[in-house]
A = this chain, B = another copy of it.
């Protein structure tokens, strides 16, 4: 099967392409398109006007392109896929016995056809759909979904018949739901129902979209073919002629086309003058470094193609470059994406909640999406401790909520007076070095001083952060590398190595072994020293398995498990003398310190499982969720807590309540989208959609030594192939100094030639730049310039690539190809 490049949104400066959708079948799409074609040809006489029918059904004699050929022979017309039966394409294709053309083949052929026309010179191209907006294509996809990746500007042919007002508005809404821009509505002037009058007002008021009309075509003259043709010819002559309003219609489309391009081309300049970017030193952010995103679909951005300097080649000698290009969203849009951009289910879920509720205030109130989401999360976590859901807006606020919860619980159980954040007796958090929990100041205070916070005026690190062992694939083995502090206790041993990542994650088996013992010793000794020094703590807070912003580091899960265990088994260390007594009455009560898992990045299938806690085999008392929670659509966070935490806030005094709550707490749109997204992610897992990835990690290559007796659900896996991880590992250490892959995440430590090993390093930038220039394997048409650009973010010298949860196996393999090329290219550039 030929490889098909990712769909490109089609936009050229000199070729105006429009897609003609119909509000219904039989509304006159072909007639209107013929008028548009003839008019464009007449008014832009020195340019090419073309007509394209991607999929046609019905006897060839009746086909729409034949109608065009008959009445507009001056137009270059073409049908890509013709099925003979006059049925909806999905039935015609099946019944005809002809092969069923795949969606991506249809898109690729449209793209080729348009590209060829663009290379011939300026012009117009009208792409006519079949039936209504949701009429099924041969594959069974509805057309509005099938053609969405191209996101061509739409001319919607309205329905002038009885009922046509409804059809036209609904068709319009289905298109908007999928992110199409409807440029105008065209329909026949019909005297009795006067749909055009109503629609003109409606679309102007509600959407500022012009509605324009043509007279109705003449009645068919059944007995006299010549007269019939003559009448229709006169109709076309008139309506594409000087006396019609066609000039105005085409001028509108022409202007909108040009305005779209000028706006796109000016956006990066305007943004550089207007926007204050997050986490960005804007002094160096010249407009050309700002990516202009026109739209996104599935795993792909459609971005404005960087323009080469205009002076290099005379424009006439080159094929005009397409103005948009697809780029793989390789950071999953800052770790948020799961189901892909522009997923109709999520759009419709958002729209439904907006229509049913808008936002409704949540204090002392409840609505279905919030309750159902709380129930789904609590159940999905499989953690018997967690009983309560508190809603906030993002991971950072969710962490602040968790801190407020934990610290109060410790104060109340200890019978301690609150001392205020600045006092000597304040409570800190226990965490891991380099962990990061968010950008609000309270969340920043949970991390040790680092590049992200130390220049923030009010930041104060409040706590202690452990050094910890990391896991990386190196020289054919999965290696656990102890930090300096542990090595001493391990008799100088630097770590351990395992045959498979599943072996590393077999934390129960490892717990009694050397690693487990030395971790416990180290943690207990450290805690004893700290508490002896008078440090007081209010929570153990960790990101299970992976430290995200802290450098995309895979932490030994056994170390995190041991941390939880030691804290819980030694409550008196923290002044918690009720622990053992409490445990007798309620084994789900927190002990020692409340344990907070920040699963914002690592949870909800990012690493392949609903909860990242399951990798540790440990249950949190408080658990924070965001990012993937809404499948990557809108901000929402949920902090889950145990009853033992919740009850610490019960009091006769209403001001003892948890004093946190944003205006949009549990906003219905976010909750509904999250519900839809979690359902889809859970079904994806249940359907076995990731079996290809699981199989690869249990059968071949670096995972071949996975113990066969380990139950499949105990195994870990990644969409990144063992072969690819192994290939990276075999690169010279001057190129790559470490790699790991788990779930949808791949992290590669690029060796820094300047020796810098931090946020300040730019070692990974060369690979990042090469990825953005990637070309794929030869495309379907044999050309080798099919784009396979990958848009990534780097963290210092770590290059990471993160797929969505629905990214296909083929896409991952293509990404691996791009990565190989980019690493080698960057290596050459750097002269290694």
> Which residues of B sit under 8 angstroms from A167, Cβ to Cβ?
24, 132, 134, 167, 170
CB 8 Å contact bits of A709-723 with B (1 = contact, 0 = none)? 000000000000000
Pick the interface stretch among A75-83, A173-181, A504-512. A173-181
Pick the interface stretch among A11-19, A35-43, A629-637, A696-704. A629-637
- Give the contacts of A57-91 with B (CB-CB under 8 A): 87-88, 90-91
Q: How far is the CA of A337 from the CA of B361 in the complex (A)?
A: 10
Q: How far is the CA of A104 from the CA of B355 in the complex (A)?
A: 19
> Which residues of B sit under 8 angstroms from A660, Cβ to Cβ?
278-279, 439
Pick the interface stretch among A221-229, A587-595, A650-658. A650-658
**Contact of A426 with B457 in the complex, beta carbons under 8 Å:** yes
With both chains docked as a complex, state the minimum distance between the C-beta of A387 and any C-beta of chain B, in angstroms. Answer: 7
The contact size tier of chain A is 35 or more
A746 at the interface (CB under 8 A from B): no
**Contact of A441 with B439 in the complex, beta carbons under 8 Å:** no
Instruction: Given A365-B291, A366-B271, verify A358-B343 contact (CB < 8 Å).
Output: yes
> Which residues of B sit under 8 angstroms from A456, Cβ to Cβ?
404, 659
Q: How far is the CA of A296 from the CA of B261 in the complex (A)?
A: 40
> Which residues of B sit under 8 angstroms from A378, Cβ to Cβ?
274
A584 at the interface (CB under 8 A from B): no
**Contact of A661 with B278 in the complex, beta carbons under 8 Å:** yes
> Which residues of B sit under 8 angstroms from A411, Cβ to Cβ?
457
**Contact of B179 with A357 in the complex, beta carbons under 8 Å:** yes
With both chains docked as a complex, state the minimum distance between the C-beta of A642 and any C-beta of chain B, in angstroms. Answer: 11
CB 8 Å contact bits of A323-365 with B (1 = contact, 0 = none)? 0000001010111110011111111101111111111111111
- Give A403's nearest chain B residue, CB to CB: B458
A626 at the interface (CB under 8 A from B): yes
Q: How far is the CA of A351 from the CA of B667 in the complex (A)?
A: 16
> Which residues of B sit under 8 angstroms from A572, Cβ to Cβ?
none
- Give the contacts of A655-681 with B (CB-CB under 8 A): 655-665, 667, 669-670
A255 at the interface (CB under 8 A from B): no
Which of B171, B281, B669, B670 is close to A654, meaning CB atoms less than 8 Å apart? Answer: B281
A455 at the interface (CB under 8 A from B): yes
A375 at the interface (CB under 8 A from B): yes
A793 at the interface (CB under 8 A from B): yes
**Contact of B132 with A427 in the complex, beta carbons under 8 Å:** no
A244 at the interface (CB under 8 A from B): no
> Which residues of B sit under 8 angstroms from A337, Cβ to Cβ?
358-359
Pick the interface stretch among A311-319, A390-398, A513-521, A725-733. A390-398
Q: How far is the CA of A341 from the CA of B364 in the complex (A)?
A: 19
- Give the contacts of A162-190 with B (CB-CB under 8 A): 162-163, 165-171, 173-174, 176-180
**Contact of A170 with B174 in the complex, beta carbons under 8 Å:** yes
CB 8 Å contact bits of A432-476 with B (1 = contact, 0 = none)? 000000111111010000011101111110100000000000000
**Contact of A390 with B651 in the complex, beta carbons under 8 Å:** no
With both chains docked as a complex, state the minimum distance between the C-beta of A745 and any C-beta of chain B, in angstroms. Answer: 15
Q: How far is the CA of A263 from the CA of B359 in the complex (A)?
A: 20
**Contact of B169 with A655 in the complex, beta carbons under 8 Å:** no
Pick the interface stretch among A119-127, A414-422, A550-558. A414-422
> Which residues of B sit under 8 angstroms from A387, Cβ to Cβ?
273-274
Q: How far is the CA of A293 from the CA of B356 in the complex (A)?
A: 10
**Contact of A669 with B634 in the complex, beta carbons under 8 Å:** yes
With both chains docked as a complex, state the minimum distance between the C-beta of A341 and any C-beta of chain B, in angstroms. Answer: 4
With both chains docked as a complex, state the minimum distance between the C-beta of A502 and any C-beta of chain B, in angstroms. Answer: 30
> Which residues of B sit under 8 angstroms from A162, Cβ to Cβ?
25-26, 88, 131
> Which residues of B sit under 8 angstroms from A452, Cβ to Cβ?
659
- Give the contacts of A84-107 with B (CB-CB under 8 A): 87-88, 90-91
**Contact of A659 with B453 in the complex, beta carbons under 8 Å:** yes
- Give A645's nearest chain B residue, CB to CB: B276
A773 at the interface (CB under 8 A from B): no
Copies in the complex: 2
Pick the interface stretch among A282-290, A562-570, A806-814. A282-290
A5 at the interface (CB under 8 A from B): no
A206 at the interface (CB under 8 A from B): yes
> Which residues of B sit under 8 angstroms from A285, Cβ to Cβ?
364
**Contact of B445 with A458 in the complex, beta carbons under 8 Å:** yes
**Contact of B364 with A281 in the complex, beta carbons under 8 Å:** no
A649 at the interface (CB under 8 A from B): yes
With both chains docked as a complex, state the minimum distance between the C-beta of A333 and any C-beta of chain B, in angstroms. Answer: 4
- Give A653's nearest chain B residue, CB to CB: B281
Which of B88, B348, B357, B366 is close to A342, meaning CB atoms less than 8 Å apart? Answer: B357
- Give A457's nearest chain B residue, CB to CB: B407
**Contact of A166 with B657 in the complex, beta carbons under 8 Å:** no
A136 at the interface (CB under 8 A from B): yes
Which of B180, B263, B445 is close to A441, meaning CB atoms less than 8 Å apart? Answer: B445
**Contact of A345 with B163 in the complex, beta carbons under 8 Å:** no
A574 at the interface (CB under 8 A from B): no
A832 at the interface (CB under 8 A from B): no
**Contact of B359 with A165 in the complex, beta carbons under 8 Å:** no
Q: How far is the CA of A664 from the CA of B439 in the complex (A)?
A: 12
Which of B282, B626, B650 is close to A663, meaning CB atoms less than 8 Å apart? Answer: B626
A706 at the interface (CB under 8 A from B): no
**Contact of B267 with A366 in the complex, beta carbons under 8 Å:** yes
Instruction: Given A357-B179, A441-B445, A669-B350, verify A455-B659 contact (CB < 8 Å).
Output: yes
- Give the contacts of A473-496 with B (CB-CB under 8 A): none
A389 at the interface (CB under 8 A from B): yes
**Contact of A358 with B342 in the complex, beta carbons under 8 Å:** yes
> Which residues of B sit under 8 angstroms from A344, Cβ to Cβ?
355
**Contact of A421 with B458 in the complex, beta carbons under 8 Å:** yes
Instruction: Given A374-B275, A439-B660, A633-B669, verify A351-B347 contact (CB < 8 Å).
Output: yes
**Contact of B364 with A280 in the complex, beta carbons under 8 Å:** yes
**Contact of B274 with A371 in the complex, beta carbons under 8 Å:** yes
Instruction: Given A329-B361, A360-B301, A634-B634, verify A179-B352 contact (CB < 8 Å).
Output: yes
Q: How far is the CA of A706 from the CA of B30 in the complex (A)?
A: 64
Q: How far is the CA of A435 from the CA of B277 in the complex (A)?
A: 29
With both chains docked as a complex, state the minimum distance between the C-beta of A634 and any C-beta of chain B, in angstroms. Answer: 5
> Which residues of B sit under 8 angstroms from A403, Cβ to Cβ?
441, 457-458
CB 8 Å contact bits of A180-202 with B (1 = contact, 0 = none)? 10000000000011100010000
> Which residues of B sit under 8 angstroms from A626, Cβ to Cβ?
663
> Which residues of B sit under 8 angstroms from A276, Cβ to Cβ?
388-390, 639, 641, 646, 658
A707 at the interface (CB under 8 A from B): no
> Which residues of B sit under 8 angstroms from A340, Cβ to Cβ?
358
> Which residues of B sit under 8 angstroms from A234, Cβ to Cβ?
none
**Contact of A361 with B333 in the complex, beta carbons under 8 Å:** yes
With both chains docked as a complex, state the minimum distance between the C-beta of A590 and any C-beta of chain B, in angstroms. Answer: 15
With both chains docked as a complex, state the minimum distance between the C-beta of A505 and any C-beta of chain B, in angstroms. Answer: 26
Which of B198, B279, B350, B363 is close to A354, meaning CB atoms less than 8 Å apart? Answer: B350
- Give A420's nearest chain B residue, CB to CB: B460
Q: How far is the CA of A445 from the CA of B169 in the complex (A)?
A: 50
- Give A600's nearest chain B residue, CB to CB: B663
- Give the contacts of A370-406 with B (CB-CB under 8 A): 370-371, 374-375, 378, 387-391, 393-397, 400, 403-404
A367 at the interface (CB under 8 A from B): yes
Q: How far is the CA of A337 from the CA of B664 in the complex (A)?
A: 11
Q: How far is the CA of A653 from the CA of B454 in the complex (A)?
A: 13
Closest 4 CB pairs between A and B? Answer: A278-B661, A132-B166, A179-B356, A441-B442
Given contacts A91-B193, A278-B660, 13 further A-B contacts (CB under 8 A): A24-B166, A135-B165, A142-B166, A177-B355, A276-B389, A333-B361, A341-B358, A342-B358, A394-B664, A395-B662, A404-B456, A440-B441, A456-B659
10 cross-chain CB contacts under 8 A:
A24-B24, A271-B371, A278-B362, A281-B653, A341-B357, A421-B458, A426-B457, A440-B442, A455-B655, A633-B669
